Structure 1
């Protein structure tokens, strides 16, 4: 394709979970931008993909009893199915386990090592296992927790390779001061610049405690840090650094869409890596907000997680795409409501766009037997519609350059509303009764032109809807690549017969919908019945009382809790059992902070045979229950509520 290059990317999605509304939101937005630029004649290239290395992938795979690559292959299919369901037209899909990616990551590592921007050292710091990143003490949240996910941090020391991030603080500030639109929205720009000015530390970019990653060239006891690896996908997909590959054309025009939680990686670490390679930072990084559901945070246990597959099935892909980008200003947090989606379908799609198409084609059928009138003399009112159409094209182009999807759709709907009002102003039915053929032809042609332009402009957002409008207007094909560039008011249309065929968007009966939704919600809640959890647990064989009597269960006071170095889930608990002190090792670190345990009275099995964990001998086992809301991960300690019961008391 000829035209101005435009390169748009989503973040590559981590494959430790199924796709959700956040994945859909970012990818639909990128798809719209790519389609918009292709419609305008630009040479657009759209990349998405999956991030498949790191501790979380390894851990989940181990729990499932499969290899990490088997897990990745399984989950990737869910993303590919969702993109097909959401009508996503990405030009490439990158996986970080692909040889083409691993080759580029290792080559970039070698180049930065040779230039002195990577060096070997030892790192000690506070590490967040879920986010797989070290957190400087100045940025830790309350209680030594991660500022992003708010989970407890772990003190770790390990041999590592460092990227000289500190070297690029000055160049980054200079770049952002010269390019104030390189980070959007503005509050994210201010956040990043402030962060850089507070001082940058060299970044650890390798791990020795992990096996599931890209081997570090020349020192294969290390694997390359998952974020360093992942960021490079934007170049590896373009064939960097081979001469003549796509990166030479597209990289200077790179734009990234990301969630606001990963803004620092994309606006601090990534551009510093690019500067070290002698490449330009991205033209723009836009960080969008997060979704809640009817005022509440999405939670599997609450059953309110929005499933994009379900929304597409219930309401259709185009209404879902339209709603996500129209309902909330891009960059702000949004609240998802099915009722709001239904109301958008009824008002914007059925009443406005659908009604304009239905009324206009009905009159062309009635007064001209479906044949499109020739373009004739225009009145000032007709020219007003044409001028507004041309202005709408320019306004949407400027707004989408700044990723203002909701404002772009508002501009388009203002044009659709004006065209509906034009019908009432010109009264074609009256012109037909009076036999004013010339004026009636001009009105019908103006309405057809307004619909043709509406189809071109709505196509990136709702491609199937645009194709249906295109077909009903009597046009061949669909308004895809080049359609906006080729569009001109009043040009063509000779000999066209419209093809009125069905309602574009049937209205949804609100009362009937409410009853159906109530039934769906009841079914979801039934699936979340905590008692269902226990149905999955096979009962154990019956025992005699003498078997139970062998268990030495006692009350223990937790005096001190320490982490086990280089162990993600283990705590060492120092216990007071009344007449003795004991140490046990427990894998409850993911569920409790040390301060939440210290001072508690818990129940311990004291006559369990001692065992060693990471070199620490454990003399006993605490008692805990698995949560029915998340039966594989959440443990709740059995504690003693009555504080008068002394430590060491036997339980029988």
Structure 2
């Protein structure tokens, strides 16, 4: 009888296609990819969604500036986001575009549900609007600079807009939202973002303008096509569009509510206030969790087009290698905090941790097996207390890594693994199998078996983070494809003595700066 696999639905925000992907896009999708890969290996029925947000005034203006029709413009830019999936070795199950017919159907059905429940009404909007942010700005949020120009909190210039508009009765959902936050304490993370959102909602919610008439590039309002939907109502609906909504059986019943929406901290309000309010008003379940991560700086400077210091993830991969980039982004800063990218920090992580710590551990262990054990997994003799401690530490990693990733603590998960990597390096130095080769070959074989088994467990757990390098390492341990999921980390599963191993080869090369030709 087959065992039912629990569902797990993880999403990136859909990315706005007014420009090509940058490190922020790569970072968010990488975090989701690590979670998706981990959960698949852990026996879950995973659904991983990403895609592009292609409507709105900003897109219409960008297309006009490029002398293109909006659809042709979005086709081109959306493809650059799709191509990043292969470059970064991401594994989504679906890539959604908001210009697809299925999405128009979903948006209009959600709109009609809100109308039927009395939560959308026609009025007129007069207020400040930030086109770059695609957001309405209240008087209390306005920032007036020395030049007298009014700006949004993001720094974008706002414009005064007056036009007919449909409104969503957001004010009606202030207390229900606060109650939802109280009864679902893990809904918003990290804690700093949860506190920020609660303060915002407690400060009072006003009804939200959810349609525009001054441009036409969007989903038409059903029954009144002079209006297009506010781009955020359109964009947020993608998470259920991809599950077949408005049908509520099939994938929708299987995966909704989402286990986690991963977003940048700049869009947490849309996901943690507007989105659950829309869903509650439509009598649909909100997602289980919204996690808002921080921003990256570049060598200590804020990233901006004006400074010309935008970090291209493709350039990073071409410079340092894919697995090194994936590792660094998940390792360098606690997830949820802001982080700084620097060449020095990147090279430090690559050379110190990947090459020296894990790379040398694997290379030393497997090379000694190749030279001294006939290229086969050695037959261990009785394990000493030191051996048992090492094997126990390797075996305990899974539960600790699992707990960390369930909190989106990616750096903590990697540190859990690295504690064992460092412990194994201390173990090999302490046991000195190169000395035992001359004095006690049986003991040498036991030590090398413990090391190989430890490396196997490390490599299995590293698959979500550095999939290519981990696969090569598992190849060198002759682990078959069906022995790489987390079932192979059960206490009863270990390397089989006598298994033929291929010739070992390094999997984590050191980075050599091409300008100096010296390893940094």
- 2:124 matched to 1:122? yes
Q: How does 1:111-150 map to 2 (within 5 A)?
A: 111-143=113-145, 145-150=150-155
Q: 1:95 aligns with which of 94, 97, 102?
A: 97
Q: 2:422 aligns with which of 417, 421, 434?
A: 417
Q: 1:459 aligns with which of 450, 458, 463?
A: 463
Deviations 1:144-188 (A, max 9, x none): 734442223222221111111111111111111122221111110
- 2:474 matched to 1:475? no
Residues 246 and 142 (structure 1 numbering): CA distance in 2 closer, same or farther, change over 3 Å?
same
Deviations 1:542-579 (A, max 9, x none): xxxxxxxxxxxxxxxxxxxxxxxxxxxxxxxxxxxxxx
Deviations 1:252-294 (A, max 9, x none): 3430110100010000000111111222222111111111111
- 2:177 matched to 1:172? yes
Q: 1:73 aligns with which of 72, 75, 87?
A: 75
C-alpha separation between the residues in 1 aligned to 2:291 and 2:324? 24
Residues 145 and 382 (structure 1 numbering): CA distance in 2 closer, same or farther, change over 3 Å?
farther
What SS is found at the alignment partner of 1:252? Answer: coil
2:127/2:138 contact within 8 Å kept: yes
Deviations 1:180-212 (A, max 9, x none): 221111110000000000000111111111110
Tell me how large the CA RMSD over aligned residues is. 1.8
Q: How does 1:277-356 map to 2 (within 5 A)?
A: 277-356=282-361
1:5/1:253 contact within 8 Å kept: no
308-317 or 483-492: bigger deviation: 483-492
Q: 1:360 aligns with which of 351, 358, 365?
A: 365
The residue that corresponds to 2:162 in the other structure is 157
Deviations 1:57-107 (A, max 9, x none): 111111222110100110111111111000000011010001111100001
2:320/2:511 contact within 8 Å kept: no
Residues 75 and 495 (structure 1 numbering): CA distance in 2 closer, same or farther, change over 3 Å?
same
Residues 157 and 303 (structure 1 numbering): CA distance in 2 closer, same or farther, change over 3 Å?
closer
Return the offset for 1:448. 1.0
TM-score when normalising by structure 2: 0.95
Return the offset for 1:456. 0.8
What SS is found at the alignment partner of 2:301? Answer: coil
- 2:512 matched to 1:509? yes
2:168/2:208 contact within 8 Å kept: yes
C-alpha separation between the residues in 2 aligned to 1:92 and 1:498? 37
Return the offset for 1:3. 1.5
2:366/2:504 contact within 8 Å kept: no
Q: How does 1:171-570 map to 2 (within 5 A)?
A: 171-374=176-379, 376-437=381-442, 439-477=443-481, 483-489=485-491, 490-510=493-513, 512-514=514-516
C-alpha separation between the residues in 2 aligned to 1:335 and 1:123? 40
Residues 390 and 145 (structure 1 numbering): CA distance in 2 closer, same or farther, change over 3 Å?
farther
- 2:47 matched to 1:45? yes
Return the offset for 1:465. 0.7
C-alpha separation between the residues in 1 aligned to 2:312 and 2:271? 27
C-alpha separation between the residues in 2 aligned to 1:171 and 1:145? 33
1:61/1:68 contact within 8 Å kept: yes
C-alpha separation between the residues in 2 aligned to 1:333 and 1:514? 31
Return the offset for 1:484. 1.2
238-247 or 307-316: bigger deviation: 238-247
Return the offset for 1:476. 2.5
2:395/2:457 contact within 8 Å kept: no
What SS is found at the alignment partner of 2:62? Answer: helix
Return the offset for 1:504. 1.5
1:475/1:496 contact within 8 Å kept: no
What SS is found at the alignment partner of 1:246? Answer: helix
Query: Unpaired segments of 5 or more residues in structure 1?
Result: 518-652
C-alpha separation between the residues in 2 aligned to 1:301 and 1:173? 39
More helix by share: 2
Return the offset for 1:513. 4.4
1:330/1:404 contact within 8 Å kept: yes
Q: How does 1:610-625 map to 2 (within 5 A)?
A: none
- 2:8 matched to 1:9? no
C-alpha separation between the residues in 2 aligned to 1:32 and 1:308? 17
C-alpha separation between the residues in 1 aligned to 2:499 and 2:252? 44
C-alpha separation between the residues in 2 aligned to 1:69 and 1:220? 19
Deviations 1:18-74 (A, max 9, x none): 100000000111100110111111111110000000011111111222110100110
